[in-house]
Amino acid sequence: MSTVEVSFVMPKDIIDDLDSPSNFGYQSFVLGLFLDEEISLGKAAKLLNMSYDEFIDFLGKKKIPYFRNTPEEINEVLEKLNSI
């Protein structure tokens, strides 16, 4: 896989308060792509060198739901299941 370097500027006081600024920036970038639905859960896990299950646990620790269906989509699935 080819790579590209991405950089951005942050206030020093914010960076100084982080336990691991380099990991935090990359993780936040990948999470942003995942939350914006630019990449899949599997792709995000791979980019963070995690298994699928590890990434789901990571999302849970961050209080980010990995199941992101709308109420309408959930009702549609429930109706299909009830008709079986």
- How far, in Å, CA of 34 to CA of 43, rounded? 8
Prediction pTM value: 0.66
Looking up tokens 């299950």 gives 53
pLDDT digits (tens, 9 = 90+) for 23-82: 778 888 899 999 998 998 999 999 999 999 999 999 999 898 877 777 888 888 888 888
Question: What b/e sequence results for 19-53 when a residue is b if at least 16 CB atoms lie within 10 Å of its CB, and e otherwise?
Answer: eeeeeebebeebbeebeeeebeeeebbbbbeeeee
* Identity of the residue numbered 24: F
Domain positions in the chain: 12-82
- How far, in Å, CA of 26 to CA of 48, rounded? 8
